[in-house]
Copies of this chain bind each other. A is one copy, B any other.
């Protein structure tokens, strides 16, 4: 991407993890994972003003951080702590449509307290990846006046930390979650009604991620549906939602404005990055992309939904 001074800074807080993933392609151990790993890699294609905050253990391979540095991601906010890196073990159904968590070893994430460096406190865009809601709140209390704060969450926190979660939701501009989480949070099956209930909790925008059915944005200006690319080869859906968030927020940082039209284009960029992510294991699908390939898939998505007006 060409670099413009208008780029806004993006601060990403999230997990950096190792994943063991079982499923139709066998068991893959110690894959690089975690929300921040996907988000930062996806966002870095759009701007060189991405910084991440997180924690890794003594066992975490330095090369993964070096790789981010090479992508101009500021990793100075990634703390290395005594203990093991956060480790997630999951198993996908043969059709990759559902998964279950087999094990979660918090490791150094169990005692993590995000400390935002001075240089990061003025971030213009903040993305709170899917972590414990009190930690998300902690970060919000440390940043100054971001133009946009977006958050992700998951069923676990809706189940066991609803009160803390609602406190975070009340303070963000945008919440992203998947369809089942939206239904669970709103206690309402219909997605349009669920979105309306979530908007009443505070955010001005709700983004509902629906996997291969795309993503829906609901906000004051109405609704927008971003398509998902129908892919013939899906290897690993892990990180799809985070890659979507990274593409979206990275594009917003790049574009330098938050107009409804820019947000729509950013949703499509999210869908583009999510589609690359699921084609490979771990963050492999986000490696080695070019502006040309990203633009090409964007154009494929445009073509996928293009139609002429009917004249009745």
Q: A213-B213, A268-B310 are in contact. List 12 more A-B contacts (CB 8 A).
A: A94-B189, A190-B233, A191-B212, A222-B303, A222-B304, A225-B227, A225-B305, A264-B308, A268-B307, A291-B312, A295-B312, A305-B305
Contact of A230 among B2, B192, B212, B254 (CB under 8 A): B192
Among B232, B291, B304, B309, which residue has its beta carbon within 8 angstroms of that of A224? B304
Interface size class of A (residues with CB under 8 A): 35 or more
CB-based contact A232/B307 at 8 Å:
no
A224 and B227 CA atoms in complex are apart in Å by 10
In the bound complex, what is the Cα–Cα distance between A299 and B190 (angstroms)? Answer: 22
A225 B304 Cβ-Cβ under 8 A: yes
Question: Which of B231, B232, B294 has a CB less than 8 Å from the CB of A196?
Answer: B232
Chain B contacts for A224, CB-based, 8 A: 304-307
List, in ascending order, chain B residues with CB within 8 A of A97's CB: 189
Q: 5 closest A-B pairs (Cβ-Cβ)? A: A213-B213, A95-B189, A264-B307, A192-B232, A192-B230
Is A216 part of the contact surface with B, judged by Cβ < 8 Å?
Answer: yes
Q: How many monomers of this protein are in the complex?
A: 2
Q: Does A244 contact B (CB under 8 A)?
A: no
- Nearest CB of B to A216, in Å: 6
Closest Cβ of chain B to A225, distance in Å, is 5
A sample of 6 inter-chain contacts (CB < 8 A) reads A2-B312, A216-B230, A223-B230, A224-B305, A264-B308, A299-B309
Mask, A242-270, CB within 8 Å of B = 1, is 00000000010010000001001101110
Task: Determine if A134 is an interface residue (Cβ-Cβ < 8 Å).
Answer: no
Q: Mark A169-204, 1 if CB is under 8 A from B, else 0.
A: 000000000000000000001111100100000000
A72 at the interface (CB under 8 A from B): no
Contact B232 A305, beta carbon cutoff 8 Å: no
Smallest Cβ distance from A188 to chain B, in angstroms?
A: 10
Residues of B with C-beta under 8 A to A303? 222
Bound state CA distance, A222 and B302, in angstroms? 13
Residues of B within 8 A of A212 (CB): 191
| Shortest distance from the beta carbon of A272 to any chain B beta carbon, whole Å | 9
The listed residue with most B CB atoms (<10 A of its CB), out of A192, A231, A304, A305, is A305
A99 within 8 A of B: no
In the assembled complex, A158 has its CB within 8 A of some CB on chain B: no
Q: Which of B218, B267, B310 contacts A295 (CB 8 A)?
A: B310
Of all chain B residues, the one with the shortest Cβ separation from A267 is B307
Contact of A312 among B1, B225, B304, B305 (CB under 8 A): B1
Question: Taking each of A2, A267, A302, which has the highest tally of chain B beta carbons within 10 Å of its own beta carbon?
Answer: A302
Chain B residues lying within 8 Å of A210, measured Cβ to Cβ, are: 213
- Shortest distance from the beta carbon of A293 to any chain B beta carbon, whole Å: 11
Q: Judge if A214 is at the interface, Cβ distance under 8 Å.
A: yes
Q: Does A154 contact B (CB under 8 A)?
A: no
Q: Does A234 contact B (CB under 8 A)?
A: yes
B265 to A232, Cβ gap below 8 A? no
Q: Using a CB-CB cutoff of 8 Å, which residues 81-99 of chain A contact chain B? A: 94-97
